[in-house]
């Protein structure tokens, strides 16, 4: 929100030569963040009012017009202008020859399009008012041609306050509220808010109009008055300039005036044509009703939309925008002026649903002070009187306030203030700091009680902590001496899953050389279609970031494979991993899980077996190092739909005796579907459940002993059918029990001519020994006989 | 030959050997010298054969004299031999076929963690040194944990569709790590010192500086007599450690429903040193740490006795921190899975990269 320093000076007597940057910094550190400070230096010299006497076209220059202007004392000049609208009889801001403004070059008498042009009609944007291109600024009827326009109105300082930093402060959405903070910061007095006395409003002639509020929780207060004598005419120049400086385009006297009050007090107002709206009902729209707003758009309403109605007809969307039909028009003679207070969440919901966030709705959302409805009307009358000499109040003030908000008083324990701020704070100090903000300290013993002013009492300040904040920020955070806390020591259990995740990332990035990536939590529909993956039932987003990004992942694989495709252009080989959350919507207890996904990719045909072997080796090593358990792999059926599970190569991974995940290689057809170049790559992957792994009880494996007697090693090569899986062979060997057997180690697998077609030779090394003596020949023979008998029983041929 | 003559002869031989050996460059010549002196027929070696001509009383002494001489000559020749060998070795290693010791080493495949993980670990270490425990919370949260327990009522703008990813099962993707505040209070009670790093999600349009998926770390300290002064001290310590320098900070009011008072801690802009630049939006300050004293309602929801305990909490944007630390200009690179920013980084001026990557 933009704050004008000129405006501010109406309420606080700031020194002429104030350092605005320093003031803004102080405001940031005490109240709310200032985003920018800008010196608007129009540098207007010699500008006067000039009345349009006549307007004529300029031959061969369709965008230009020749205006005759009265410039005082009966004198007229002619000037060429590009102002699009120039009604005869209205006065404009005119720069006669010799006048100057910073944004324009020298102003004199020149020839334009073959016409003599004396001085110029100033467009709004040349003097700091955001108008449509080249539009002139029109002056109120009370100015006389030739009247000089005060240069000090044109120059200003603008302080932009970050809107997000004042969402909780409804009082700061107008200049007067900001002025209150500035007065407190600068320790200068704040002038009372200039308004017409309430008696004057209550003494309006005629009948009071009826206001009916159906739901006092939706509409807390509704106030209004009927006035006449408000003709269509421009607002005073000073008002237009100030509005322009804070980014609001001057439109007409009445609109400018209500906008001015909104930027002044923070209270939005609206004017209806009193001939069309002569009573007010606040209630909900009919379901499916349509309503044409001021901006000309037709809006669909729901039965939750809070509306202003008159005799059952919708006339405005409460807190958002008025209707086109009851709008004040040129022929309007009598206005129904209203200001109201609505439940913030209702206004916000409606504005959001309609996609119609207006200056008014932004303010209503902040929970405004209900007192402001009447105050705004008083302010309106105060400002309108000098603008409209024929202004008449033709009704007494109507004010419907069914459930007035109670006065808010907050108790504060003195010791809590000192505890929170970290130093002694006395009641006198606190009282003095908060008085300029409107808080009254009533009781100053061990428990202080503060009366909260109404403009801070709508949600903003209600409990002790709120008061502590007020005291702390007024003391100044920069004056609080930082001190490290005194704490109590206690032991808490470690978060095993988090620790495991860190350890896993460290392990896999260090030794095996994997690179961590992070992918999105959702599938990309296009990509999973390309992968031929049907994820089935997913947890879904109601509002995805984009179409096709609504399904939350069950597996990390699509993301990792996407990264493979992305990186294959740039690297001949890489290993990547992700630790991330996946979801299983079918699960009762653990919908959300943590996975570790690992992918190794390497360019080169026939590289996949080697990669898979390497990956399994890494998993075995990790299993021992992290869990002190062996890893095992057993053939499982590939999961239908998960195209990255190879039909014949997919295994379940066991750590100890717990199944923790799966591993496989990506087959040729999927690689080609991912990217034709990946046809010549090998891709191996594994995905494991970290949450399951974190639940494994820690095992400490005792160190082995150095044998006291020599061991004997015997190698056995087993000839098996190629179809027989290694895992089966191992489980058969595991069944063999013998007191002398210390270890069976896998040495290698061999396929080739010497073993014959369809056969495979698996070599194991057995280690035998005895703890209390050296083995003799008979021991070895006995072992061999027993072992070979077992092998024969399993159907394995022993290859000599 | 009397003994004197023998000694003289030996002395001459030794002198001769010393002289010859001094100039000798070839190992072969040295070998033939060895034979010609020490061999059976050599000048010294053949003297052994003459021992039998001496009287028995002298035989022993003559033998010793000759053998001692042989040993000395042998030592001279061996020394020269060793010197020649050494010279040959060093001549070899300097030759054209020799190994270039400036070649790079043979590097094992290197891995890496994500830049955000690296920064997260750094923050975890800083807090572990201060006795904080590290917690984690779920990325899918209930409305209660993400909002209500944190004093964010149903009417708060943060609960609009604009800011939050809503799930069809009624849960949300957590919009901040703050739910872990509540979870930790419930799990451990007071006193408490905990940080919780993790991934958060906001319904936001992605561009170079905005992501809908990012990391934060939550900090929470609850104990007796905890003050704003403590919070400011802790925040300064954290920033000094993370940035590895004495950071100038500014504390100003900030509004977050789950703290009261709420503050924003700004850090002096490193790029312009506070003068104002594009990075700090001309303010000279960079917003880094929203924080505050934990709101009494949040403490109560967590089952903490507010009469006895107070606490402070803060949130630190890990993703932002990683971007500052590693000079990441475009946030989108972080979730892209593209390895190029990490592997085979392009060097300024195209400097030669000698190490083999990846």
List CB contacts (< 8 A) between A419 and chain B. Answer: 225-227, 310
Instruction: Measure Cα distances from B100 to B105, B106, B351 in Å.
Output: 11, 13, 21
Q: Distance (Å) from the C-alpha of residue B229 to the closest C-alpha of chain A? A: 4
Q: Is the pLDDT score of B52 beyond 60?
A: yes
Give the bridge partners for A543, in sequence order.
Answer: none
- Point out the residue among A469, A489, A510 whose CB comes nearest to the CB of B111: A510
CA distance B278 to chain A (A): 13
Contact assessment for residue A269 and residue A322, using Cβ atoms and an 8 Å cutoff: no
Residues comprising chain B, all counted:
358
State the number of CA atoms in the 13 A half-sphere of A451 facing the CB: 10
Q: Tell which wins on pLDDT, A555 or B352.
A: A555
Which residue of A456, A482, A549, A610 to mutate against B (max B Cβ within 10 Å)?
A482
Structure token digits, residue B201: 């999600």
Is A486 part of the contact surface with chain B (CB cutoff 8 Å)?
yes
Over 50: is that where the pLDDT of A281 sits? yes
CA B342 to chain centre: 16
Mean pLDDT of A584-611: 92
Q: Which residues from A are below 8 Å from B147, CB to CB?
A: none
Question: Given a cut of 90, is residue B60 above it in pLDDT?
Answer: no
Res A623: pLDDT: 97
Q: How far apart are CA B326 and CA A474, in angstroms?
A: 38
- Interval B224-231 mean pLDDT: 95
- A166: Cα within 13 Å, side-chain hemisphere: 27
A22 touches chain B (CB under 8 A): no
Decide if pLDDT at A512 tops 80.
Answer: yes
d(CA B166, CA B82): 84
CB neighbourhood size of B201 (10 A): 25
**Which single residue is written with the structure tokens 């002013």?**
A453
**Nearest alpha-carbon partner for A144 in A82, A51, A30:** A51
Q: Are B342 and B351 in contact (CB under 8 A)?
A: no
For residue B188, the distance in angstroms to the closest alpha carbon of chain A comes to 7
DSSP letter string, B135-149: ----SEE-HHHHTGG
Give pLDDT tens digits for B277-306: 777 777 888 888 999 999 999 999 999 999
Calpha distance B81→B24 (Å, rounded): 9
Residue A711 confidence (pLDDT): 93
Distance between CA atoms of A225 and A200, rounded to whole angstroms?
12
Tell me the C-alpha distance between A395 and A207, whole Å. Answer: 5
DSSP A696-765: SPP--PPPPPPPSS--EEEEEEEEEETTS-HHHHHHHHHT---TTEEEEEEEEEE-SGGG-TTEEEEEEE
Question: B343: helix, coil or strand?
Answer: coil
Q: Is A592 helix (H, G, I), strand (E, B) or coil?
A: strand
Subunit contact B167:A510, Cβ cutoff 8 A: no
- Indicate whether B357 pLDDT > 60: no
A441 pLDDT above the threshold of 90:
yes
In 3-state terms, what secondary structure has residue B248? coil
Mean pLDDT throughout A152-166? 94
Q: How confident is the model at residue B155 (pLDDT cuts 50, 70, 90)?
A: confident
Chain A to chain B Cβ contacts (< 8 Å) = 239
Q: Is the pLDDT of residue A748 over 50?
A: yes
pLDDT of residue A368: 95
Among all residues of chain B, which has the CA nearest to that of A572? B358
What are the chain A neighbours of B111 within 8 Å (beta carbons)?
Answer: 508-510, 512-516, 575
**Contact A419/B at CB under 8 A:** yes
Half-sphere exposure of A256 (CA within 13 A, CB side): 29
Residue B358 confidence (pLDDT):
42
Cβ contact, residue pair A473, B230, below 8 Å: no
Structure tokens at B158: 């943060």
The mean pLDDT of B116-139, rounded to a whole number, is 95
Tokens 């991912």 correspond to what residue? A674
B173, pLDDT greater than 60: yes
Q: Is the pLDDT of residue B251 over 90?
A: yes
Backbone phi and psi for residue A350, each to the nearest 5 degrees, phi listed first: -65, -45
The arithmetic mean of pLDDT across residues A550-569, rounded, is 96
Average pLDDT over residues B66-75: 87
Tens of pLDDT, residue by residue over A392-429, are: 999 999 999 999 999 999 999 999 999 999 999 999 99
CA A722 from centroid of its chain's CA atoms: 60
Across the range B114-130, mean pLDDT stands at: 95
Quickly state the pLDDT bin for B130 (edges 50, 70, 90).
very high
Which range (A13-27, A39-53, A587-601, B314-328) has the least confidence?
Answer: B314-328
Taking CA atoms, what residue in B is nearest to A517? B337
Helix (H, G, I), strand (E, B) or coil at B307: coil
From B117, B233, B255, residue closest to A165, measured CB to CB:
B255
Tell me what pLDDT residue A104 has.
87
Q: Which of A667, A673, A570 minimizes the C-alpha distance to B336?
A: A570
The separation between CA A777 and the C-alpha centre of its own chain, rounded to angstroms, equals 80
Q: Looking at chain A, how many residues does it have?
A: 800
pLDDT given for residue B288 in this prediction: 87
Tell me what the mean pLDDT of segment A12-36 comes to.
95
Q: Report whether B15 contacts B58 (CB < 8 A).
A: no
CA dihedral (B168, B171, B177, B180) in degrees, to 10, reads: -160
Which tens digits make up the pLDDT trace of A376-397?
999 999 999 999 999 999 999 9
Smallest CA-to-CA distance from B321 within B214, B173, B179 is with B214
- Give the other-Cβ count within 10 Å of A73's Cβ: 8
Mean pLDDT of chain A: 93
CB B157 to CB A570 under 8 A?
no
Cα–Cα separations (whole angstroms), residue B268 to A726, B239, B292: 63, 11, 20
Per the CB < 8 A criterion, the answer to whether A119 and A126 are in contact is no
Residues of A in Cβ contact (< 8 Å) with B194: 492
Q: Which long-range contacts (CB under 8 A, 24 or more apart) does A631-636 make?
A: A631/A655, A632/A727, A633/A663, A633/A727, A634/A727, A635/A725, A635/A727, A636/A662
pLDDT band per the 50, 70, 90 thresholds, residue A94 = very high
Whole-number average pLDDT of chain B: 87
ipTM of the complex: 0.87
- pLDDT tops 90 at residue A590: no
CA-CA distance, A536 to A555, in Å (whole number)?
A: 12
Q: What is the pLDDT of residues A631-681, one digit of tens each?
A: 999 999 999 889 999 999 999 999 999 999 999 999 999 999 999 999 999
CA neighbor of A717 nearest in space, from A632, A786, A788 = A788
pLDDT tier for residue B49 given thresholds of 50, 70 and 90? confident
Collapsing DSSP states into helix, strand and coil, what is residue A253?
A: helix
pLDDT tens digits, A321-375: 999 888 888 888 899 999 999 999 899 989 988 999 999 999 999 899 999 999 9
B271 pLDDT above the threshold of 80:
no
pLDDT above 90: percentage of residues in chain A:
84
CATH entry, B115-356, from 3.40.50.1860, 3.40.50.1820, 3.40.1620.10, 3.30.930.10? 3.30.930.10
Query: What's the CA dihedral at B278, B284, B290, B296 to 10 degrees?
Result: -140
pLDDT of residue B108: 80
H or E segment to which residue A469 belongs? helix A464-475
The answer to whether B310 contacts A419, with C-beta atoms less than 8 Å apart, is: yes
- How far apart (Å, rounded) are the C-alpha atoms in residues A152 and B325? 48
> Quick one: pLDDT at residue B158?
62
The set of long-range contacts for A421-426, using a CB threshold of 8 Å and a minimum separation of 24, is A421/A468, A421/A471, A421/A472, A421/A475, A421/A480, A421/B227, A421/B228, A421/B229, A422/A480, A422/A481, A422/A483, A422/B227, A422/B228, A422/B229, A422/B230, A423/A480, A423/A481, A423/B229, A425/A471, A425/A475
DSSP string, B47-61: HHHGGGGS-HHHHHH
Of the candidate ranges A116-130, A481-495, A571-585, B15-29, the one whose mean pLDDT is the lowest: B15-29
Q: pLDDT tens-digit profile of A166-202?
A: 988 999 999 999 999 999 999 999 999 999 999 999 9
pLDDT at residue B244 above 90? no
């Amino acid at each position: 929100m933009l704050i004008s320093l000129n405006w501010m000076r109406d309420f606080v007597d700031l020194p002429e030569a104030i350092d605005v940057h320093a003031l803004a910094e102080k405001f940031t550190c005490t109240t709310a963040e200032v985003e920018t400070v800008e010196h608007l230096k129009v540098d207007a010299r010699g500008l006067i009012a000039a009345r349009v006497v006549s307007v004529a076209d300029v031959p061969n220059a369709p965008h230009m017009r020749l205006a005759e202007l009265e410039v005082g004392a009966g004198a007229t000049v002619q000037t060429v202008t590009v102002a699009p609208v120039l009604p005869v009889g209205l006065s404009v801001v005119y720069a006669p020859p010799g006048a100057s403004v910073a944004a324009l070059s020298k102003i004199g008498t020149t020839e334009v399009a073959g016409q003599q042009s004396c001085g110029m009609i100033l467009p709004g944007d040349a003097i700091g008012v955001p108008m449509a291109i080249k539009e002139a600024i029109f002056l109120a009827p009370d100015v006389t041609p030739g009247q000089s326009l005060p240069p000090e109105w044109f120059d200003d300082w603008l302080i932009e306050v970050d809107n997000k930093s004042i969402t909780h402060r409804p009082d700061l959405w107008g200049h007067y509220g900001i002025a209150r903070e500035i007065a407190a910061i600068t320790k200068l007095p704040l002038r009372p808010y200039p308004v017409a006395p309430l008696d004057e409003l209550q003494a309006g002639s005629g009948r009071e109009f009826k206001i009916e509020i159906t739901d006092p929780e939706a509409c807390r207060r509704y106030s209004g008055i009927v006035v006449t004598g408000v003709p269509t005419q421009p607002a005073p120049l000073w008002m237009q300039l100030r509005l322009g400086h804070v980014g609001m385009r001057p439109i007409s006297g009445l609109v400018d005036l209500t906008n001015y009050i909104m930027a002044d007090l923070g209270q939005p107002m609206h004017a209806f044509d009193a001939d069309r709206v002569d009573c007010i009902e606040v209630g909900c729209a009919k379901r499916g009703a349509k309503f044409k707003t001021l901006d000309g758009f037709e809006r669909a309403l729901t039965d939750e939309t809070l509306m202003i109605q008159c005799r059952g007809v919708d006339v405005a969307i409460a807190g958002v925008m008025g209707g086109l039909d009851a709008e004040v028009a040129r022929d309007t003679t009598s206005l129904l002026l209203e200001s109201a207070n609505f439940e913030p969440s209702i206004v916000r919901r409606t504005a959001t649903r309609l996609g119609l966030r207006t200056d008014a709705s932004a303010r209503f959302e902040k929970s405004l002070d209900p007192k402001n409805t009447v105050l705004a009307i008083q302010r309106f009358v105060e400002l309108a009187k000098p603008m409209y000499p024929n202004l008449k109040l033709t009704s007494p003030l109507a004010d419907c306030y069914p459930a007035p908000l109670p006065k808010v008083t907050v108790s504060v324990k003195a010791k809590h203030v000192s505890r929170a701020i970290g130093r002694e704070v006395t009641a006198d100090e606190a009282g003095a700091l908060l008085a300029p903000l409107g808080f009254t300290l009533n009781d100053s013993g061990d428990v202080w009680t503060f009366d909260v002013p109404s403009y801070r009492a709508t949600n903003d300040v209600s409990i002790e902590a709120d008061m502590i904040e007020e005291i702390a920020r007024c003391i100044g955070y920069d004056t609080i001496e930082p001190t490290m806390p005194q704490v109590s020591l206690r032991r808490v259990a470690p978060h095993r899953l988090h620790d495991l995740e860190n350890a896993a990332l460290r392990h896999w990035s260090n030794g095996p050389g994997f690179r961590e990536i992070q992918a999105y939590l959702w599938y990309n529909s296009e990509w999973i279609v390309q992968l031929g993956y049907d994820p089935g039932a997913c947890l879904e987003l109601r509002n995805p970031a984009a179409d096709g990004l609504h399904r939350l992942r069950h597996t990390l694989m699509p993301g990792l494979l996407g990264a493979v495709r992305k990186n294959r252009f740039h690297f001949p080989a890489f290993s990547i991993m992700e630790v991330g959350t996946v979801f299983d919507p079918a699960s009762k207890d653990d919908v959300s899980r943590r996975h570790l996904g690992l992918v190794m990719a390497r360019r080169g045909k026939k590289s996949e077996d080697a990669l898979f072997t390497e990956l399994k080796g890494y998993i075995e090593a990790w299993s021992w190092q992290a869990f002190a358990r062996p890893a095992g792999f057993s053939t499982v059926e590939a999961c239908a739909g998960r195209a990255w599970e190879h039909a014949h190569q997919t295994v379940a991974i066991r750590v100890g005796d717990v199944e923790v995940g799966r591993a496989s290689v990506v087959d040729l057809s999927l690689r080609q579907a991912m990217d034709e170049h990946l046809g010549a790559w090998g891709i191996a992957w594994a995905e494991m459940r970290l949450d399951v792994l974190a639940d494994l009880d820690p095992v400490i494996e005792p160190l082995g002993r150095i044998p006291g007697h020599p061991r004997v090693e015997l190698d056995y090569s087993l000839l098996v059918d190629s179809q027989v899986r290694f895992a089966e062979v191992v489980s058969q060997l595991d069944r063999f029990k013998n007191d002398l057997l210390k270890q069976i180690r896998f040495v290698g697998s061999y396929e080739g001519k010497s073993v014959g077609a369809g056969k495979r030779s698996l070599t194991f090394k057995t280690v035998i020994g005895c703890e209390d003596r050296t083995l003799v020949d008979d021991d070895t023979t006995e072992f061999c006989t027993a072992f070979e008998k077992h092998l024969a029983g399993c159907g394995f041929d022993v290859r000599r | 030959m009397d003994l004197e003559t023998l000694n003289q002869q030996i002395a001459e031989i030794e002198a001769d050997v010393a002289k010859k050996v001094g100039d000798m460059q070839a190992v072969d010549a040295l070998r033939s010298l060895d034979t010609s002196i020490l061999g059976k027929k050599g000048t010294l070696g053949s003297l052994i054969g003459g021992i039998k001509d001496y009287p028995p009383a002298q035989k022993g002494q003559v033998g010793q004299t000759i053998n001692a001489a042989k040993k000395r000559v042998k030592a001279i020749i061996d020394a020269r031999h060793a010197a020649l060998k050494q010279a040959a070795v060093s001549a070899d290693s300097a030759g054209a076929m020799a190994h270039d010791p400036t070649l790079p080493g043979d590097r094992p495949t290197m891995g890496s963690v994500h830049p955000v993980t690296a920064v997260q670990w750094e923050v975890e270490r800083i807090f572990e040194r201060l006795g904080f425990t590290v917690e984690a919370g779920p990325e899918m949260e209930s409305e209660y944990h993400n909002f209500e327990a944190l004093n964010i009522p149903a009417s708060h703008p943060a609960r609009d569709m604009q800011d939050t990813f809503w799930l069809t099962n009624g849960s949300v993707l957590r919009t901040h790590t703050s739910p872990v505040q509540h979870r930790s209070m419930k799990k451990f009670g007071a006193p408490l010192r905990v940080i919780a790093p993790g991934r958060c999600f906001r319904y936001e349009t992605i561009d170079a500086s905005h992501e809908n998926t990012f990391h934060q770390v939550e900090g929470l300290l609850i104990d007796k007599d905890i003050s704003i002064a403590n919070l400011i001290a802790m925040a300064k310590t954290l920033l000094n450690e993370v940035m590895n320098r004495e950071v100038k900070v500014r504390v100003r009011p900030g509004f977050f429903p789950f703290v009261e008072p709420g503050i924003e801690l700004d850090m002096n802009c490193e790029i312009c040193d506070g003068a104002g630049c594009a990075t700090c939006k001309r303010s000279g300050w960079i917003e880094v740490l929203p924080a505050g004293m934990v709101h009494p309602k949040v403490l109560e929801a967590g089952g903490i006795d507010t009469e006895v305990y107070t606490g402070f909490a803060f949130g630190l944007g890990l993703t932002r921190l990683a971007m500052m630390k590693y000079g990441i200009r475009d946030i989108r690179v972080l979730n892209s899975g593209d390895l190029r920013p990490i592997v085979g980084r392009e060097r300024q001026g195209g400097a030669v990269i000698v190490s083999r990557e990846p």
